Structures are given as structure tokens and as C-alpha cells.
Chains A and B, each alone.
Chain A
Amino acid sequence: MKKGKEWIKGLWKEHPVFRMLLGMCPTLAVTTSVINAIFMGVAVIFVLFFSSLIVSLIRKLVPPQVRIAVYTVIIASFVTIVDIYFKANFPQMSKALGPYVPLIIVNCIILGRCEAFASKNRLIPSLIDALSIGIGFFWGLVVLGAIREILGTGRVLGIKILSASYYNPMVVMILPAGAFLVLGGLVAIMNKLEGR
């Protein structure tokens, strides 16, 4: 049980965005809307899951001197697959996310989990860890995206939440500054909840 808890800490206790403050570049840049956040989150879950799978499987075969290079090649491959898939099936989203999909390659969450967890653990724990961190990242982005989209445009996923009759959208929220404001607020709330 104790071990199991260790594996799913990414969902809350060691949340990658709000507790560890990892992967800030996509977090701040693509969360202008919920739909962007969803696509980014799914892409990261996919890459994290499959990279952890491969890295965990080959962990005994890879000599330590070349491990980072090997992990990077593996991660880059899965990122490219996601990029090609988005380009082929969701061209609009691919355009909206721009360079941030290819940039998942250098997302420290993924290399971090491969290096810190998947390369030292068996397959099943590695997969659970990857999923928990991935889902944690996903909900982090979606919450951030939702708050920014509601405050910045008054709508979520194209559905009107706040009517223009009583709410004047705060454009700053969908600008970069808004990302920092919302992220700061959420990190503060997380810290308060965790009692630190």
C-alpha cells in the first residue's frame, strides 16, 4: 500500500505543475484555452507513458554513459509521432499549439521521470508513475486553461459561461501575464491545502 501511494503521488502530493513546478514552458504558454490544454495534456501523457515503457524495459541494457542520449532519442521519437499525428488529423490544433508540441522533447517532466523513475523501476510501477504524473499534468493544464479562458473571454470550449452583459472579459488573463497570475494563485492554494 505504501508503495502504491508512492506511485500515484503525481496526481496531488507531488503534482508536476503545482508542487514541483516542472514543465513551466508549455504550462504557461498553451493554457490560453481549455482545448489547447487538453491537447497538450494528452500529448504529454502519450509521450510520458510510452517513453517510460521503453525506458523501463531497456533499463538494464543501457550503459550509464549513454543513457541520457538514448532516453532523448526515445522521447524525441514519440514526440515526433504525436506531432505528425496532430498535423494529419487535427491541423487546426497543430497550428494553435505551434512549436510547443515539438518542444515536449525538452520538457523536464518527461526526461525527469525517465531518469528518476522508469530507469530504476520495473515496468508496472513505471507505467503507473508515468500515468499519474501525466494525468496530474493534464488536470493542471486544464484547470489553468479553464480559469484563464473563463476570465479572459467569458467562455469555455466555445460555451458562454459569463455573459457580456455583466462581465467584461479581462484580456490580460489570456496574455502571458495572466498565466503567471493564475499559476501563482493556484500554487498558493496548493501550498495552503498541503499545510506548508
Chain B
Amino acid sequence: MRFNLKGIFVLAITCSLCGFLLSLVYSSAKDKIKDNQKKAIYQAIEKIAKGYKEVVPIKVRSIDVYKLIDEKEKIMGYAFLVEGQGYQDKIKILGVINKSGTTLKGIEIIDSKETPGLGARIGEEFFTSQFKNLKVFPSIQLTQKEKVKNNQVKAITGATVSSTAVVNILDKGIKELREAGVFND
């Protein structure tokens, strides 16, 4: 009995020391990680959207939205960051959409931990390029065959869950923005 108690004691001490150490490391690196994520978002916007002059971050409900302003001080579109459950962990997607909220200009996967070689391919050009000039009204459709309509996206073979997740996350985010009246003005 005494022996077991010692085991519990040692394990508890180890865990709390490690936890303490990790919280120290995390709090020192937190700001830098946030900065990097911000940078990644702006880089993604730069990659997808063209011809904007200024990016104004706003918050719509719980979604981070970035207004893209053109030379004439007019809104030309929106970038938005949405996330949701993928196959393994959360998938974070940045999408750029036109002013009226009907056509996607493109997407970029900011963060995902999908299965390498299968689900992780959602980040590859061949998949993300399908979202270029994709009609999103009334909703995006996922198809297992070749796409025939301009609101369809072809799923990745062997990664239906991840493909579905990307489409659903985007769809849900866009619907929420639409309901919030972002595309009305």
C-alpha cells in the first residue's frame, strides 16, 4: 500500500512540475504565435484577393471578417476566417468572397491536422483551386463525380470526411455572415 502511494505521489509531482514548465513556455511564446497566425492570415488574403488597397478587420458575431477596400474607398469584398471540426482536429479556413456574398474568390487552409496524404490534401492547390470563383448561393455542394454545376466541389478520394468538413465550415460561415447582414450594405 505504501508503495502505491509513493507512485501516485511521484506521478502527481511530475505532472504538476511539467504542467508548470509548459505554462511558462506557452505564456512566453503566446504572443509570437498569435502574431504568426495574423501574418499567415494577411498572407493568405494577399494570395487570394487582388486589387485591394486596405484591409479593415471587423468582428461579425464570432467570426473574424476583413473588409477589403479598393482604391476608390469602396468595399470590394470580404475575407473571413471560419473554423470547424475536421476529421482529426479543427480546420481553420480563410475565404475571400465578393461584395454581395455570392461568389468565393478563393480559400486557403490556415490550420489543419488532417491525415497526411489523405485529408491533409485539402490544403493542396488542386483542391483549394476549386473554390476559385465558386458560386456559394444558395449553398456549396460536394460531389463525388466530376462537377457539373458552378456551385459544386469535387471531394478528395479517400478523404470524404475532410472534404465535407471544408465545405460545411465554409457554408455555415457564409450563411452566418449573410444572416448578420454583412452583404447587405
Contacts and interface: CB of A to CB of B under 8 A. Distances in A.
A111 to B, nearest CB: 15
Nearest to B11: A66
A84 interface: yes
A66 B10 contact: yes
Nearest to A29: B116
A186 interface: no
B11 A69 contact: yes
B116 A88 contact: no
A99 B32 contact: no
Contact of A63 (B7, B15, B22, B120): B7
B10 A99 contact: no
Contact of A98 (B6, B15, B36, B113): B113
A108 interface: no
A22 interface: no
Q: Say whether chain A's binding surface is mostly helix, strand, loop, or mixed.
A: helix
A70 B10 contact: yes
B21 A77 contact: yes
A88 B22 contact: no
Contacts of B60: none
Interface string A53-77: 0000000011101100110011011
B1 interface: no
A80 interface: yes
Contacts of A89: 32
Contact-residue bracket for chain A: 20 to 34
A70 B14 contact: yes
A185 interface: no
B38 to A, nearest CB: 11
A84 B33 CA distance: 8
A88 B26 CA distance: 10
B56 interface: no
Interface in B25-41: 25-26, 29, 32-33, 36, 39-40
A30 to B, nearest CB: 9
A66 B26 contact: no
Contacts of B8: 66
A166 B5 CA distance: 69
Contacts of B11: 66, 69-70, 73
Given A73-B18, A81-B25, A84-B26, A176 B117 contact: yes
A99 B89 CA distance: 11
A65 B4 contact: yes
Nearest to A82: B25
B130 to A, nearest CB: 21
B3 interface: yes
A120 interface: no
Contact of B33 (A70, A88, A100): A88
A117 B83 CA distance: 44
A65 B32 contact: no
Given A65-B4, A73-B14, A80 B22 contact: yes
A87 B29 contact: yes
24 contacts: A29-B116, A61-B10, A62-B10, A63-B7, A65-B7, A69-B11, A70-B10, A73-B15, A73-B18, A74-B14, A80-B25, A81-B22, A81-B25, A85-B25, A88-B29, A91-B33, A91-B39, A91-B40, A98-B113, A98-B120, A99-B113, A99-B116, A100-B116, A176-B117
Q: Which 10 A-B pairs have the closest CB atoms?
A: A77-B18, A88-B32, A88-B29, A66-B7, A91-B36, A63-B7, A84-B29, A66-B11, A70-B14, A65-B7
